[in-house]
Amino acid sequence: MLKQKLHIMKDRIASNETVSSTLTELKNALRDKISLRYPQYFRGTTSNPNLQEFQKMLLKGFEAVEVGCGQAFKLPFRVSNGDTLMYEFFILSYDLTFRLARRVMANGGAFEINVRGHSSDTRHSARKSVRGVHVVNDDEDSTYLFVFDNTYSWFRSKHVAYRISHHKAGEGKSGD
């Protein structure tokens, strides 16, 4: 009886080691894939203390973008009433201004209206990730813009890891 229990325990340990080994292989494969997509963040060593956290964000499925000096990066989403927009971002170095805006059509073209509570002139620093949720409350379908704004910086581009999900009203938690 004791030998049988020991044999069962050995099998369980072996299967756990196999699972652990498989997970390690998958993590390494994912890291290799991400490092091929974003080699600039995985090459060599750097003195930037935020690089390791930035790499973790990329490995969690975040996208990376470089916002050039004097530029803004705008990411549009077409939304309907009741849709939910969720976002999180992390800045590699320095600071960056973020805002959520709604694009409105009018005579003479489109213009942007900042969404209350999700736009600011405050610059977000590289020390922590920023998260937010916005539930769309518009009478008609519209376009929302996630804007990473670096127009105030003349000399330094900024690197941002971001994840944005769009949940349609009445659907589960599957996002874009």
Determine what percent of the chain is predicted with pLDDT higher than 90: 34
Extended strands (E) in the chain = 63-67, 72-79, 84-91, 95-106, 109-125, 130-135, 142-149, 158-167
pLDDT at 173 over 70: no
C-alpha to C-alpha distance for 115 and 111, rounded to whole angstroms: 13
Average pLDDT estimate for 61-81: 93
Average pLDDT estimate for 128-139: 88
Q: Do residues 86 and 167 lie in contact, with contact meaning Cβ atoms separated by under 8 Å?
A: yes
39 DSSP assignment: G
pLDDT at 13: 67
pLDDT at 1 over 70: no
pLDDT at 175: 47
Supply 80's token pair: 């309907």
pLDDT at 4: 65
Strands 109-125 and 158-167, by their bridges, are: unpaired
Q: How confident is the model at residue 127 (pLDDT cuts 50, 70, 90)?
A: confident
pLDDT at 10 over 90: no
CATH class given for the domain over 51-167: mainly beta
101 or 116, greater pLDDT:
101
Determine what percent of the chain is predicted with pLDDT higher than 70: 84
Helices and strands, number each (H, E), in the chain: 2, 8
